[in-house]
Structure 1
Amino acid sequence: MAIAVLHALDSARTQWYHITAIVIAGMGFFTDAYDLFCISTVSKLLGRLYYYNPSTGKPGKLPVNVNNFVIGVALIGTLSGQLVFGYLGDKLGRKKVYGITLIMMVVCAICSGLSFGSSAGSVMTTLCFFRFWLGFGIGGDYPLSATIMSEYANKMTRGMFIAAVFAMQGVGIIFAGLVSMILSKIFLNMYPAPAFSDSPADSSHVLSTQPQADYLWRIVLMLGALPALVTFYWRMKMPETGRYTALIEGNAKQAAADMGKVLEIEIQAEQDKLAQFKAANEYPLLSKEFFRRHGKHLIGTTTTWFLLDIAFYSQNLTQKDIFPVMGLTQKPEDVNALREVFETSRAMFVIAFFGTFPGYWFTVFFIEKLGRFKIQLMGFFMMSLFMAIIGAKYHDLKQNKFMFGTLYGLTFFFANFGPNSTTFVLPAELFPTRVRSTCHALSAAAGKAGAMVGAFGVQYYTLSGKPGVIQKAMFFLAFTNMLGFFFTFLVTETKGRSLEEISGEDGGGDHEAGTQMTGTNTSATTATPY
């Protein structure tokens, strides 16, 4: 059943408003990535500042459990925020809760940098408290940005637009490294390392940490508030999506008026057709009908995102510990604190710029040509292959830094020209409008559960210092990626079809297509009239 406002959205030519929506939603993801990954550039600095023990004569280091919690607490918050805001996005509207996520990110990014306390433990506790709530706000951005972009886009460029929003995550990771690198260089020039003193213990501490470094990590964290603050006004000016207004609120006239203004066309309000449409799609999320139609897809999106994020976040959050092995940074004992931040940030920037960033945009440019399914399969397979090679040839690669860096960068490239992008796109397309935000949230939360496995499990293991840990970790991640490859067969291709056709809301039979791998329109032969 064709409803005018939905048809207008699906067939609309790409225009300036679509680009504006990509930028507005994308800046949220830029902020998300910056806030989540900038902590990796300064976590070693926190150890030098707050956990120095003069008796060791070595630079301070965060205890493993403290390091894991500082790195991973935002992921716990993100998982919680995804579930809460995803549900609210379906119940209250996408726009009503969209601004709340940005406010939380602004306030908590600033407060993270202002973390206080009379002891190292209290400073870390305060920092973790605010980073939890920062993650909570970040979590809301996942289902809301994906849902809003999918519901605004036309059916021929929808995947490209959603992927472009998510690609801003790559830009955020680059800026996390770039900002930390620039600021640490400025601090280095202003506060060069003092000369050694006579006492070995004292000289080690002098070399290890300039007192002014305490300002550096705070500034890096607080700058995460800036892009979110700039974006807030424009988010509040966005109208509610036409699909939410029409299919959930049941207001065909308002949906036609809002989308007609946005698309600069006149759209007919069809309240009678809309009432029939809604009556045919009233089944709740927790129902046999939902699981008959969409259960296989939901299992597919949750499992693949979970498995992908084990590898993706293990890579990103532990790369500071792999950089010395690759020869990209010096040993902590050989550099002062600010120099270590500079080298870690520079290495992160290089890997992100040449490996991570291009992968996102390859997905943007090829997703409508190759399709989501093929890109996801290819990405999982190539990640598994390169990680297995790193694990098998680890000792040889330690002697060949260029080859090590190339293989390591390729794992990032195929993560992003692969499942890291497509696991974000698919849940925004496969499910009915009424539960789209919630289903995306469930899928994303499964991903963050995988990220926590990476942050608290894989990272803990790699920091244990046992022989061969990085090799074993690479083999484990290669295995999880191969599992992701096989679980991808639970999802279906979505390119070139309307959201209602994909979900079966228009009376089509795609929900029965199961693991159909092509973009063929099946609704023509299975449609049942209302």
Structure 2
Amino acid sequence: MASDNLTVLNALDTARTQWYHVTAVVIAGMGFFTDAYDLFCITTVSKLLGRLYYYDPATHAPGKLPHSVNNWVTGVALVGTLTGQLVFGWLGDKLGRKKVYGLTLILMVICALCSGLSFGYSRKVVIGTLCFFRFWLGFGIGGDYPLSATIMSEYANKRTRGAFIAAVFAMQGVGIIFAGLVSMIVSKVFLMNFGGKAFTTDEVFSTEPEADYVWRIVLMLGALPALLTYYWRMKMPETGRYTAIIEGNAKQAAIDMGKVLDIEIQEEGEKLAKFKAANEYSLLSNEFFMRHGHHLLGTMTTWFLLDIAFYSQNLTQKDIFPTMGLVSNAKNISALREMFETSRAMFVIALLGTFPGYWFTVFFIEKIGRFKIQLMGFFMMSIFMAIIGVKYDYLKTKEHKWTFAALYGLTFFFANFGPNSTTFVLPAELFPTRVRSTCHALSAASGKAGAMVSAFGVQQYTQDGNTHKIKKAMLFLAFTNMLGFCCTFLVTETKGRSLEEISGEDEKQNETQMKSNKTDSGRQDDGWD
């Protein structure tokens, strides 16, 4: 059922795909490119930080971040992301999508630069300052989740909406690739000029002094794409749906959309007022609970369960990378060489496993549907993680390295051609305009809570590299994926339907209109007119 109530909604739903739709994908997607780069580049430099600041000459061994410090360095941005999602998601509904959209980029630019400028008189000060700015970097990143998803869903037509939202999120895969690529290039440049030899255990220092510049450069480069995107993001008009439905300004919505899309929108002040009045219920109302409570429970639980597994997928990297010959023993190579090899391994895995999955979702989401893709992804991840858990001792031997690599890559592929993409898409489509950004933020924050379970729980449990613990952890992750499979049945398919049909806003308005007509009829029968 198309929206037959407001021309602005019909016009947006049926508009042909135009150049501005592609532009909006790029502008919103560059935010996610930056998000992914900033979140994942810390993986490539964390070992370097250990070798720079925690080297003990007495042991003649490479320095290493203590487990608690490593967890905070790599996980504090996730805490900031969760907080930012909730704050900016709420602000997106209260103040408008555009008004707070640029603020997320400003935070990301400033904090990326400051992360690289984390100086101090001791290692505690350096690491503490780094964690402080990484938290606020995550805070800005968190705002991008609900705002980008909501803006894209409200701009797109109903035929290509899922593909466009998925394409925005797919830029995360490009960001992960560049996190590995940039780290690899920077470390290689310094390696060629300042290091590169192999070290023996009787040498006191195995870290080039110039390496302190490397991690700073890598972190600070995360500010560049955000800075380049800021101007274009500020040029975007407010979405027509927000201006019309929330602000009640059909005239401005028509003007704004007419500037960027080749569509004609009529002003419908009276219809708009009735539509707005029919959908005034809040997030905490019984009306919302009855209509969308199970949807919100579904999007929150599936994203939470997915991110436990998604952020735990590096559990087996310590064995898969050496088995595949992608990294060497840290005791025999310099700090820059170790960073180069770690970055190279991350780049290869992202390029061959992570990246294709994102774009498979973009190409097939409007054909297969969100619901089926999410079910398939959860199921296949569960199968492959269970196999790795049961056969871990067998797989990590040199003889079976290609089987190990294939299974490992397939878990990444089906995470992205599956729930990692669809859990981002569905919350942007299922909920009413008035609370769409907030509901997406709650779902995304639930996901980051799952990521924190991974960072501070699952990975803490397996930090000593004990094979038995890793096997148990992989089986646990297989179980969480099957729970995600089951929780998917709380959501519904949204393919090919208008946002107002999905959320019930059309239905609610029609109910109000029928009641109004009956009242008017009754008044006429009683001789009131």
Asked if Structure 1 and Structure 2 have the same fold, meaning a TM-score greater than 0.5 normalized by the shorter chain, the answer is yes
SS in 1 for 2:157: coil
Rounded Cα–Cα distance in structure 1 between residues aligned with 2:371 and 2:360: 15
What amino acid maps onto 1:92 in structure 2? L
TM-score (normalizing by structure 1): 0.94
Decide which of 348, 363, 366 is 2:364's aligned counterpart.
Answer: 366
Q: Tell me which moved more, 413-422 or 397-406.
A: 397-406
Equivalent residue, structure 1, for 2:442? 442
Equivalent residue, structure 1, for 2:418? 418
What pairs up with 1:68-467 in 2 under 5 angstroms?
68-193=71-196, 201=202, 203=203, 205-206=204-205, 208-316=206-314, 319=317, 322-324=320-322, 326-399=324-397, 400-467=400-467
Cα distance change of structure 1 residues 174 and 529 upon mapping to structure 2, 3 Å threshold: farther
Cα distance change of structure 1 residues 76 and 195 upon mapping to structure 2, 3 Å threshold: closer
Rounded Cα–Cα distance in structure 2 between residues aligned with 1:527 and 1:330: 70
Give 1:274 shift: 0.4
Contact conserved, 1:508 with 1:528, CA < 8 A, in 2? no
Cα distance change of structure 1 residues 255 and 136 upon mapping to structure 2, 3 Å threshold: same
Deviations 1:489-508 (A, max 9, x none): 00000000000000000016
Equivalent residue, structure 2, for 1:519? none
Give 1:2 shift: 2.1
Give 1:463 shift: 1.4
Contact conserved, 2:62 with 2:330, CA < 8 A, in 1? yes
Contact conserved, 1:40 with 1:320, CA < 8 A, in 2? no
Cα distance change of structure 1 residues 477 and 224 upon mapping to structure 2, 3 Å threshold: same
Rounded Cα–Cα distance in structure 2 between residues aligned with 1:391 and 1:136: 34
Rounded Cα–Cα distance in structure 1 between residues aligned with 2:425 and 2:513: 26
SS in 1 for 2:465: coil
Q: Matched residues, percent identical? A: 79
Equivalent residue, structure 2, for 1:518? none
What amino acid maps onto 1:141 in structure 2? D
SS in 1 for 2:119: coil
Give 1:260 shift: 1.9
Rounded Cα–Cα distance in structure 1 between residues aligned with 2:454 and 2:513: 44
Rounded Cα–Cα distance in structure 2 between residues aligned with 1:109 and 1:252: 39
Rounded Cα–Cα distance in structure 1 between residues aligned with 2:442 and 2:155: 21
SS in 2 for 1:53: coil
SS in 2 for 1:430: coil
Deviations 1:385-442 (A, max 9, x none): 0011111111111121111111101000000000000000000000000000000000
Deviations 1:184-204 (A, max 9, x none): 11111011246869xx55x1x
Rounded Cα–Cα distance in structure 2 between residues aligned with 1:14 and 1:150: 13
Deviations 1:190-233 (A, max 9, x none): 11246869xx55x1x43x21111110000000000000000000
| Gaps in structure 2 of 5+ consecutive residues | 517-529
What amino acid maps onto 1:114 in structure 2? L
Q: Tell me which moved more, 182-191 or 419-428.
A: 182-191
Rounded Cα–Cα distance in structure 2 between residues aligned with 1:95 and 1:195: 52
Rounded Cα–Cα distance in structure 2 between residues aligned with 1:80 and 1:406: 36
Equivalent residue, structure 1, for 2:521? none
Equivalent residue, structure 1, for 2:33? 30
Equivalent residue, structure 2, for 1:489? 489
After superposition, the CA RMSD in angstroms is 1.8
Rounded Cα–Cα distance in structure 1 between residues aligned with 2:390 and 2:322: 19
Give 1:261 shift: 2.1
Equivalent residue, structure 1, for 2:468? 468
Rounded Cα–Cα distance in structure 2 between residues aligned with 1:182 and 1:527: 63
Deviations 1:155-190 (A, max 9, x none): 000000000000000000000000011111111101
* Structure with max Cα Rg: 2
**Does structure 1 residue 40 correspond to structure 2 residue 57?**
no
Equivalent residue, structure 1, for 2:67? 64
Contact conserved, 1:51 with 1:60, CA < 8 A, in 2? yes
Rounded Cα–Cα distance in structure 1 between residues aligned with 2:318 and 2:105: 28
